[in-house]
Each structure stands twice: as C-alpha cells, then as structure tokens.
Amino acid sequence: MIERPVMIVTGAARGIGAAIARAAAADYDLVLNHVTPGDHVGSLADELRAAGATVLVQRADVGDETSVVEMFRACDEHFGRLDVLVNNAGIAGGYGSIDTVSSSMLAGLWAVNVTGAFICAREAVSRLATDRGGAGGSIVNVSSRAAVLGGAGEWVHYAASKGALDTMTIGLARELATVGIRVNGVRPGLIESDFHDHAPPGRLERMAPTVPMARSGHPDEVAGAVLWLASAEASYVTGTFIDVSGGR
C-alpha cells in the first residue's frame, strides 16, 4: 500500500481552513488544527475520513509555542511523516481605524498571525529539510490582499500582520530553496467567511462592487490555489504569491 502524504492545516475548523482540508482529503492524510472548544472540527474530521483520509484532530493555540510543538509531536507519533504545512490560522485582531488599536490587541494579533506562523514553519522545516534527514516538502502561507492594499480605516493592523507573513514567505523561500522546501503564499481577497463578522453587518455586499469581478469569492476558490502550490505540479515555484481576489 502506498503511503499517503501528510498535511497539517492550521485553523482548519471552518472557512478557508476547512475548505483546504476538504480539497486535500482525496490525496493527503491530515492534521486538523483548531483552538475553540465546541467548534465543528469533529464533524469535519468524520466527513474527511469518509472521503478516505486518515485524520488527526489536534487542538492547539498557534500563538502558544508549547502547543505548536506538541501538535507537531502528535503528527510525528500518529503519522511518522510530514509533507506539507498550510499556515492558515489567523485572527482579525479587532476592527477599526488607528485610534482603536491597543498594544494588547497587537500582541494577540502578532502572536497568532506572525509568531505562530514562524513557530509552525520552524517545526515543519526541522522535519522536511533534506539536510536534516527530511524528504523535502512544501509550506503554503495563507496571507491576505490586505497585505498589499493596506486595510485603511478597517484593518491596518491586520494588514500589517499579513505583510509580515508575506516577507517571511519570501525570505524562507530563499533560505530553504536548496534543502527541498518550497515556500509560497496565497492572498485571498473578499472571501465569504465569518471573518466579516468582525465588521459592521453587510460588509460583503458593500465591498463586492469594488471587486473587478463584482462578487465575493468562495473558500473553495482559495483552497484550489493552496493545493496547487502544495503539489508536485508547482515543483519549480517558490517565493511566489497567488492572489485569489477577483482582480482587486
């Protein structure tokens, strides 16, 4: 029996993370990371098992280094291998202009969106790098078009955290290119998810006319880009971003 590759998806319980996991289930065994008790990750895991994937559900706050290390150890024990890390977990960190931003807000935002992504990448690299006995692999960071557009009046703080993730993507792609690890990013735009619950009601409808395609996107459309970057079809692609934003 051919051993299936293993993918860790952080923030997999809903939205884009759940869509990535569903898209991956046909070809990968999965570690589904989540943080909130009582979310729907259990039913998602059952759905993916029915689709043929072996699934490990791992509760871990990616903003906590100890939790991240334990998640990767659990992957080692359960699967004995790792092939792909999808750094998808992220938080909005509140909504509003600069006068609403506090140091505590920024600390929580950075812990998940930046520090958490770095620690997850560090743990993945220690397992994937060919100069450390690994077989190589792929890291895909889920960023945001806000990193480029800036999020003025709403999410400058969030946009800045995703800008940091983009810089990390470029730097790690170059650092790891000779040890078998590709690092790429996907920048979703206006996507239908509960992210917009942090904004005043009706944001999706208000913003849709600003998108050249005149509509919001679906998480499945983001998942397709993530899976392509993770796949062998993208074997000569690293340090690259795919914008899934309808042209915005």
CA 222 to chain centre: 10
pLDDT tens track for 188-243: 999 999 888 888 999 999 999 999 999 999 999 999 999 999 999 999 999 999 99
Angle at 216 between CA 158 and CA 143, to 5 degrees: 30
Residue 1: which pLDDT band, with cuts at 50, 70 and 90?
low
Please tell me which residue in 28, 95, 158, 236 is annotated as part of the active site.
Answer: 158
The domain locations on the chain are 6-244
pLDDT for 175 equals 98
Q: What backbone torsions phi and psi does residue 211 show, to the nearest 5 degrees?
A: -90, 130
pLDDT for 37 equals 79
Mean pLDDT, rounded, of the chain: 96
CA neighbours closer than 13 Å in the CB half-sphere of residue 130:
12
Burial call 25-40: b when 16+ CB within 10 Å, e when fewer:
beebbbbbbbbeeeee
Q: Measured between alpha carbons, how far is 163 from 141 in angstroms, rounded to an integer?
A: 12
**List of residues 6+ apart from 238 with CB closer than 8 A:** 173, 177, 182, 183, 184
Q: Measured between alpha carbons, how far is 56 from 41 in angstroms, rounded to an integer?
A: 10
Radius of gyration of the chain (CA): 17
**H-helix or E-strand spanning residue 172:** helix 156-176
Counting residues of the chain whose pLDDT is more than 70, the rounded percentage is 100
Which pTM value belongs to this model? 0.96
pLDDT for 40 equals 83
In terms of phi and psi (left: phi > 0; alpha: psi -120 to 50; beta: otherwise), the region of 145 is alpha
Architecture of domain 6-244: 3-Layer(aba) Sandwich (3.40)
**List of residues 6+ apart from 61 with CB closer than 8 A:** 35, 67, 112, 116
Strand 241-244, strand 181-188: pairing: parallel
Question: Would you report the helix, strand and coil content of the chain in percent, each value rounded to 5?
Answer: 50, 15, 35
28 is catalytic: no
Neighbours of 97 (CB within 10 A): 12
pLDDT tens track for 82-101: 999 999 999 999 999 999 99
Sign, Cα dihedral of 241, 109, 115, 62: negative
- What DSSP designation does 207 have? H
pLDDT tens track for 21-52: 999 999 999 999 999 877 789 999 999 999 99
